[in-house]
Every structure is written in C-alpha cells, then in structure tokens.
Amino acid sequence: MALTNNQHVLDWVKEMEGLMTPDKTIWIDGSEGQLRALREEAFKTGEMTELNQEKLPGCVLHHTAKNDVARVEGRTFICTKNKEDAGVINNWMDPEEMKAKLVPMYTGCMKGRTMYVIPYCMGPIGSPFSKVGIEVTDSIYVVLNMDIMTRIGVKALRQLGDSNDFVRGQHAKADINEENRYIVQFPEENAIWSINSGYGGNVLLGKKCFALRIASYQGMKEGWMAEHMLILGIECPNGETKYITAAFPSACGKTNLAMLIPPEVYAKQGYKVWTVGDDIAWMHIGEDGRLYAINPENGFFGVAPGTNEKSNPNALHTTMKGTIFTNVAHNLADNTVWWEGLDKNPPEDAQEWTGIPVNGKEYVANGGKLAHPNSRFTAPAENCPCLSKEFNNPMGVPVTAMVFGGRRAKTAPLVYQSFSWEHGVYVGSAMASETTAAATGAVGVVRRDPMAMRPFCGYNMGDYFGHWLEMGKKLGDKAPKIFHVNWFRTDDNGHFIWPGFGDNMRVLMWMLDRCEGKVDAVETPIGYVPKAEDINIEGLSDITLDVLKGLLEIDNDLWLEDVKGVEELYDQIGERVPAELRKQLADLRARLSK
C-alpha cells in the first residue's frame, strides 16, 4: 500500500511498475518490523548470512557477484542535453539516446521479483538543507543498506510533503551483466538510472549518485556546495569546537582522519575530536554569512581492509553492531568476519570473499587475499564512539578550515596554506594522488583528482571550479581558510616518514592556529608553509625538528613538473576553466621559476 498521497510520487512509482512489471510492490516504511522481515527473507534465500549475534549483534554478511566489486567509472554517465554541460571529464551520452538504450533492459526486468519503494532523506529530518529521494529496487541488500546510510520511510515522505522536488532513482539488478552495467545520472531531470549491478557504490543511489553527482549540480543552480569531504570538530579544553572539512581521493585515510583519536599530548590537555561525517559535506551560507556543513548521510560505507584497533579503533567499534559486511571473509569457526589488516591471525576455517571455502593458507582470489581489497562495511553513524552531538543539527556546523590532500611520495610538503580563497580553489583543482583499489583500474598511478570530485562532479568541471570561485565571492572575508596536506611523503626506501593516523591532529592544530592568527608562516612559491617549530612534535620519537623541516621542504623542479600536469588537466577540461585559475597557474609557474 502506498504511504503517501503525493501525486508526483504515486505517478512515478506507477510508471516504474509499468516498465519493470514486478510481481508485487512493497513500500518501505522504515519500521523495525518490516526491516526484520526482510532480513529474515534474505537469510532464507542465502542473499545474506546472519553472523554471530553474541559477538556481532544485528550484523550480516553479503557477497556481491565476482564481476561487481567496485564503482565502474567507465560505465558511469552524466546525461545532459548539451555535451559541454557534462564536460570532458565525465562520460556523456544524449539523454534520449541513453534512454533508448536502457529502457529495453528495464522492460519486464522485475518479472518474478518484488519492487521495493524506498523513500529516503539525505540530511537530518527537518533540516531546510535536506533533500528527498525515492529509489525503487529489486534488492533487499539495497533496502537494508539504505536504512543504514539514509533516513528512510514515512519520515522522509513527511519531509517531502506534496513537493515534486525529489530525486527519482531506479535500480534493477537485472542479471548483473557487466556488458550492460550502467550508472546514469540525468542532472537536469533529477533522475538516476542504475542497472546490472549489486555493488554498494553503484546501487545505493543516495550515496555518490545523489549526494555528489546530482547534488553538485543542484548546489551550482541553488547557490550551495556538495563536496566529497569529511567533517570533523576539534573541541578545545575551553569547550569551544572548531570544524574542518577535508577532501581526499578514496583510500587516502579519509575515514581515519574523520574519526581520529587525539595523541596523548593533546588528550591530556582535554582536547577531543568529534566526527560529523566521513565522506560527504553539503555546505550552505548561513544567516551570519559563514559557511555551514551538514552530513547528508546517516551511516558509514567504509573500506574494511586496513581497519583495525590501531589504525581506526572508532571505525572498528562502529562496525560491532547493526552492520552489513560486503565481500569480507567469513570466519566459519565462530561465524564472524575477517579482512586483511584486521589482525595478524587469518582464520584457518574460512570462506574467502567469493564464498569459496579455504583451509589454512591457500586462498584463491585476489592474489592470496581472503577479503576483497575494496570490501566494505555499512555501519550506522549512531554506533560511532566519537559521533558529534551536532550530527543531527538541522543548520549544520560552521566551517573554519578546508583541507585538500592526496598521496604524493615526493612533491607536496606535509602541509601548506593557500594565499587566498582563489589560490585555494587552484590548490583544490590541482589535487593529485596515486590510485587505489576503490575504483576499478590500475593501482599506484598518479592521477589528477580536482577536489577529489573527478568521479563525482555532476556537470562540467570548469563550471564547477567557477562555482567555487562564486561561493568565495559571496563568503568574502568570512570564507574558511584553505590548506593542503600530504601524509604520504616517503623516504628513499619507500617508507612513510610522517606517522599519520592520530598524529595528523598536530597538523590540524597548526591550521587552527593559522585561522586564529596565532602563528606566523613562511611564504614560499606554493603557499604559506609552517615554521617547523610551530608544529607540536612532543612525544614523537622518530620525528625530530630536522625531519620535520625535510617534510616541509619545497623542490621547485618537482613543482614545475607538477604545474605541467595541471596545465594538461586544464587544457583537457577546456575553455570553461575560469580565467582566474589560468592566472593562478601562471603566477605559480612564475614564482617557481624565479
């Protein structure tokens, strides 16, 4: 039975039923009773496995198809009427041509199956900045993930009211055929079409599809920002909390930074770190003219491998109840889960992520990996030991500093500050990092990833840079300060020099000191670099003042090389790159060449 009288919603769902002809339609109301019944059904069909309820209460295990384990950028499209509006960074097809291709695939694809209608809200219920989507799907896995990642059911429909302003998301597993896998955004129509995938990033349409690709376009049109950024708060001993947003490409330690535990030198003074979000920030200009951020999500979709008691205890503890594990190994001895980096004791009696039983150490999949390198946990935010009390604040939190970062072995120093908002937009646009397993393709190649939005910008990247510059004009002197970090500098043997993890807070504290005008900095061709003595290294045995100075050094030749890479990116994006950024690039080259 439909849960709403909103005629726009009812008409669209009816259209979806006519297209995909499911045997029955179930509206997801968000009640625990309904969700429990769906879990039980998934256990019966084998779609999911219930784990040890004493050790992992409410936790389940799911395996995707072997050909369906990551986002597929080559199969992800932005369909706008004019090709230029999607830009060259995105795959584009004419919307009508794409629909002509996909409609036959959707036609009758849910025969013999159930269609689930999931109303969901991105952002806190009651927030003027939240937005509603409806996703139809034939996957219980999607329903249960969306319950964790968003606010689903009747409350989302109440937020929508009679409005037609909702994102229409249609997902069908069809037959999980790689050749016919498409994840398509129609930003001008507020619509997302996903078919032939069952993997999270391709099918949880509230996540990257809506919260970044569609929302970035909405933000450009409506005067706000949707960014691939974590949001964290640092609470000082006096009780005041300052908020930082930060953008990193996948697997650069974003979740670790969002949930960092202060090192002893700060903990004993009474500093605390609070997590508002680990992946996406929607930012609006508040009544006081400052920038405010909300986390549109309600859970964490984290990479499991490498998450452990040392690297990220808060993330690990967040996964201990009510979590969906995807493509990790199944420890049959006690019906729990395991992944590389969890501990040093891989289970003897286990199933690897493909479901193949293994005995001892002879694993078949992924070069001897029990869990897939991009295996995931979907965990409720409310489980997080360091969740900010502002998490559900409908107005968001004020942003003091913005950070860009990536993996660079040699080029970028540990930290530097941009000269201005405009220069900061240049710094974000020039971001580069070494690729990881979160996206399909080669690993370890340096690729340009402006603002960590390359795979997620729902319109022309040049226009996107322009929107950043516009936001800076509106913010004026109330704009957050912009910084760049690189935790990943290596020595001659390829070992990381900076300890990372909780010790990254030492760098964040320098940023906050800069924002408050408490410390000076050294002006270099690339930006303001700290004086080594202004970064607190108390308690770090391996980091001396000299080592720190080395981490802050600028090699002009490497940077001039880097400038060429940025120029190539700008030339690729084309004539919509704002003149201001071309000027920033030329000015940087001139400073480096002096």
pLDDT tens digits for range 484-507: 999 999 998 889 999 999 999 999
Considering the chain, what is the average pLDDT of its residues? 95
Q: Amino acid identity of 306?
A: G
Taking phi over 0 as left and psi of -120 to 50 as alpha, with beta for the rest, 335 belongs to left
Instruction: Report long-range pairs for 444-451 (Cβ below 8 Å, ≥24 apart).
Output: 446/408, 446/565, 448/565, 448/566, 448/568, 448/569, 449/249, 449/406, 450/569, 451/227, 451/228, 451/247, 451/404
- The catalytic residues are 252
Quote the CA–CA distance of 83 and 179 in Å, as a whole number: 24
| Cα 502 off chain centre by | 20
Q: Which tens digits make up the pLDDT trace of 286-306?
A: 999 999 999 999 999 999 999
Q: Is the pLDDT of residue 584 over 50?
A: yes
Structural domains in the chain plus CATH codes: 7-30+73-222 (3.40.449.10), 227-295+391-593 (3.90.228.20), 300-383 (2.170.8.10)
Is 36 labelled a binding residue? no
Is 252 labelled a binding residue? yes
pTM above 0.95, yes or no: yes
Is 251 labelled a binding residue? yes
pLDDT of residue 365: 46
Number of H helices, E strands in the chain: 17, 31
Closest-CA residue to 451 (of 477, 472, 425): 425
pLDDT of residue 486: 96
The dihedral through the CA atoms of 447, 543, 255, 346 has a sign that is positive
pLDDT of residue 366: 47
Quote the CA–CA distance of 206 and 522 in Å, as a whole number: 43
Quote the CA–CA distance of 139 and 137 in Å, as a whole number: 5
Is 449 labelled a binding residue? no
Is 407 labelled a binding residue? yes
Phi, psi of 215 (to 5 degrees): -70, -30
Is 71 labelled a binding residue? yes
Is 513 labelled a binding residue? no
Q: Which tens digits make up the pLDDT trace of 235-291?
A: 999 999 999 999 998 768 899 999 999 999 999 999 999 999 999 999 999 999 999
pLDDT of residue 455: 95
pLDDT of residue 567: 97
Q: Which tens digits make up the pLDDT trace of 391-441?
A: 999 999 999 999 999 999 889 999 999 999 999 999 999 999 866 555 556
Q: Average pLDDT, stretch 526-540?
A: 98
More confident residue, 359 or 8: 8
pLDDT of residue 506: 98
Q: Average pLDDT, stretch 10-24?
A: 98
Quote the CA–CA distance of 444 and 488 in Å, as a whole number: 13
Distances (CA, A) of 169 to 127, 138, 161, 207, 305: 22, 12, 18, 11, 30
Q: Is the pLDDT of residue 86 over 90?
A: yes
Q: Which tens digits make up the pLDDT trace of 128-155?
A: 999 999 999 999 999 999 999 999 999 9
Phi, psi of 28 (to 5 degrees): -85, 115
Is 501 labelled a binding residue? yes
Sheet with 336-338, edge to edge strand ranges? 336-338, 329-331, 349-351, 357-359
Quote the CA–CA distance of 124 and 101 in Å, as a whole number: 37
Quote the CA–CA distance of 49 and 74 in Å, as a whole number: 31
3-state helix vs strand vs coil in the chain, percent to 5: 35, 25, 45
Residue 308 pLDDT level (bands cut at 50, 70, 90): very high
Q: How many CB atoms lie within 10 A of CB 357?
A: 10
Quote the CA–CA distance of 461 and 87 in Å, as a whole number: 6
Is 513 within 8 Å of 550 (Cβ atoms)?
Answer: no
Q: Which tens digits make up the pLDDT trace of 441-464?
A: 665 567 899 999 999 999 999 999
pLDDT of residue 446: 75
Is 407 within 8 Å of 252 (Cβ atoms)?
Answer: yes
Phi, psi of 436 (to 5 degrees): -130, -175
pLDDT of residue 438: 54
> What does DSSP assign to residue 533?
G
pLDDT of residue 436: 54
